[in-house]
């Protein structure tokens, strides 16, 4: 949370240090996102899920059609993570009286699968450089790109249950913070209404994954969560 406070303080300082001739606008926006969670191991897979985000935003206008905008967004994403694991069965022989002998050493491996539902809640702080092209006095289209810092505020660890007889300890652990890049475009209508679409590219891992049964099977992987976002905003 200390990093989040420092970043928000920096955004506020940017607005405070803006020259008097520059225009500062405040607004609010929200929208939907579709998360694309990928893994470094093919035994894991995740279906795309729709989440949402909402929060305040600020824009500082610069010369030549450029501007800088920033926001503090509550973001919630969810996904169904599918995984595969191997169950080992050791067969033993029976004596004529029905009692069990020592294990024969024959082991049969069977592949199984399961699904874990995960949800990520975070505060995201995107800071974008924008370039706008006017379409008359009441509308413009703009292109934007910039960094985004995310801070996990929800449940961090998933997978305390047991699946298929395998002990699943910290199956998925979200990182406390992450860094990503936004690239997108949008339009401003009637000077106040804003619509936009962007792709958020994760830089580095978003979560660590460990799955397996002690002394039999262990899988470790890393996850990255890119997402597509569609937003609707209003400038006051």
Q: What CATH code is carried by the domain that includes residue 31?
A: 2.40.160.20
| pLDDT for res 87 | 61
- Classify residue 103: in a domain, yes or no: no
Domain that holds residue 222: 2-15+23-41+49-81+120-235
| Residue range 109-135: mean pLDDT, rounded | 84
Residue in 219, 227, 223 with CA at minimum distance from that of residue 206: 223
Q: Angle at the Cα of 70 (from 67 to 75), degrees rounded to 5?
A: 145
Q: Rounded CA gap, 209 and 76, in Å?
A: 20
- Classify residue 107: in a domain, yes or no: no
Residue 30: both structure tokens together: 């929200």
Q: Rounded CA gap, 55 and 57, in Å?
A: 7
Considering 25-29, 39-43, 131-135, 209-213, the range whose residues carry the highest mean pLDDT is 25-29
| Residue range 191-213: mean pLDDT, rounded | 81
Burial class (CB in 10 A: 0-12, 13-18, 19+), 207: buried
- Classify residue 225: in a domain, yes or no: yes
| Residue range 104-113: mean pLDDT, rounded | 61
Give the H/E segment covering residue 235. Answer: strand 217-235
- Classify residue 96: in a domain, yes or no: no
Measured in residues, the chain has a length of 236
| pLDDT for res 154 | 87
- Classify residue 212: in a domain, yes or no: yes
- Classify residue 211: in a domain, yes or no: yes
pLDDT at 197 over 50: yes
pLDDT at 81 over 80: no
| Residue range 144-173: mean pLDDT, rounded | 71
Give residue 120's pLDDT band: very low, low, confident or very high (50, 70, 90).
Answer: confident
pLDDT at 91 over 70: no
Neighbours of 111 (CB within 10 A): 9
- Classify residue 231: in a domain, yes or no: yes
| Residue range 146-157: mean pLDDT, rounded | 90
Number of domains forming the structure of the chain: 1
- Classify residue 214: in a domain, yes or no: yes
Q: Rounded CA gap, 157 and 207, in Å?
A: 10
DSSP state of 63: G
Residue 77: both structure tokens together: 């994403």
Q: Which residue has the tokens 């209508």?
A: 189
* 8 Å CB contact between 201 and 190: no
Query: Please, how many CA atoms are within 13 Å of residue 112, restricted to the half-sphere of its CB?
Result: 15
Q: Return the higher-pLDDT residue of 112 and 59.
A: 59
Q: Return the higher-pLDDT residue of 61 and 110.
A: 61
Phi (first) and psi of residue 6, to 5 degrees: -65, -40
Q: Per DSSP, which regions of 40-161 are E strands? A: 44-47, 49-61, 66-71, 73-94, 100-134, 139-152, 157-158
| pLDDT for res 77 | 84
Residue in 85, 86, 77 with CA at minimum distance from that of residue 47: 77
Q: Return the higher-pLDDT residue of 54 and 115.
A: 54
């Amino acid at each position: 949370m200390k990093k989040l406070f420092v970043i928000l303080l920096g955004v506020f300082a940017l607005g405070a240090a803006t020259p008097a001739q520059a225009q500062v606008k405040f607004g609010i926006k929200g929208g939907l996102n579709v998360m694309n969670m990928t893994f470094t191991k093919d035994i894991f897979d995740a279906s795309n899920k729709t989440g949402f985000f909402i929060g305040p935003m600020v824009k500082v206008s610069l010369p030549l059609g450029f501007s800088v905008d920033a926001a503090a967004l509550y973001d919630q994403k969810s996904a169904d993570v599918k995984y595969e694991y191997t169950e080992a069965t050791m067969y033993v022989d029976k004596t004529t009286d029905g009692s069990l002998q020592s294990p024969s050493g024959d082991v049969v491996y069977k592949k199984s699968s399961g699904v874990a539902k995960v949800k990520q809640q975070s505060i995201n702080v995107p800071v974008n450089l924008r370039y706008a092209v006017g379409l008359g006095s009441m509308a413009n289209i703009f292109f934007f790109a910039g960094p985004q810092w995310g801070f996990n505020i929800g449940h961090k660890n998933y997978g305390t249950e047991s699946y298929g007889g395998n002990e699943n300890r910290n199956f998925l652990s979200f990182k406390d913070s992450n860094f990503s890049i936004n690239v997108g475009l949008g339009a401003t209508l009637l000077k106040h209404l804003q619509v936009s679409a962007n792709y958020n590219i994760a830089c580095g891992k978003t979560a660590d994954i460990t799955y397996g049964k002690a002394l039999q099977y262990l899988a470790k992987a890393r996850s990255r969560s890119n997402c597509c976002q569609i937003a609707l905003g209003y400038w006051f």
